[in-house]
Amino acid sequence: MDAVIDALEGITVANGYSTEVAYVSESIKHWEQIDKNLFPCCFPIDTDETKEWATIGGATDVEGDLTIVVTSMVYSSTNTTRTARTNLLRDVEKAILNDTTLLGLILNIAPVRVVTDRGAIPNYSVFDQVFLITYRYSSTAGG
């Protein structure tokens, strides 16, 4: 999760993104409890995980699938919430799929789905992006 957090914290205009993420935390808050100067914000959490034994070249490893959900929130008082949401959606996906630290630790990462609030909250948008990460580690070395 440290690599995911680092990737999200790296979402800045200076790093080639459209958005400046102001706040990243694993402790999610309700959108009404967040200071407006902390928007846009991202809250990553690891959810479901499955593991199975995998034998490759005589070595027995553990291969697993881990689901990561990034809940993101944007605020706009100028009626540009949809644009802000779209930009952050793209930036989160770009950050997760292209982070070299993450790619060095895993076999595959894929975006699975996006769930939005469908514009139900005036001036805010809250949405989840779900990613499936496949990894492998040596069970004899302890991961």
Domain ranges (residues) in the chain: 2-138
The reported pLDDT for the residue numbered 64 is: 87
Quick check: helix, strand or coil at residue 72?
strand
The reported pLDDT for the residue numbered 140 is: 62
The reported pLDDT for the residue numbered 141 is: 56
The reported pLDDT for the residue numbered 139 is: 64
Domain 2-138 in CATH 3.30.70.1700:
yes
Order across the sheet with 41-56: list the strands.
23-24, 41-56, 59-75, 124-138, 108-116
Pairing between strand 23-24 and 124-138? unpaired
Q: Is the peptide bond before 122 cis (omega within 30 degrees of 0)?
A: no
The reported pLDDT for the residue numbered 142 is: 54
Cα separation, 114 vs 60, in Å, equals 35
The reported pLDDT for the residue numbered 132 is: 94
The reported pLDDT for the residue numbered 102 is: 72
Per-residue pLDDT of the chain (143 residues; tens, 9 = 90+): 888 999 999 999 999 999 999 999 999 999 999 999 999 999 999 998 888 887 767 767 888 899 999 999 999 877 788 889 999 999 999 999 988 777 777 888 999 999 988 777 888 999 999 999 988 777 665 55
The reported pLDDT for the residue numbered 61 is: 80
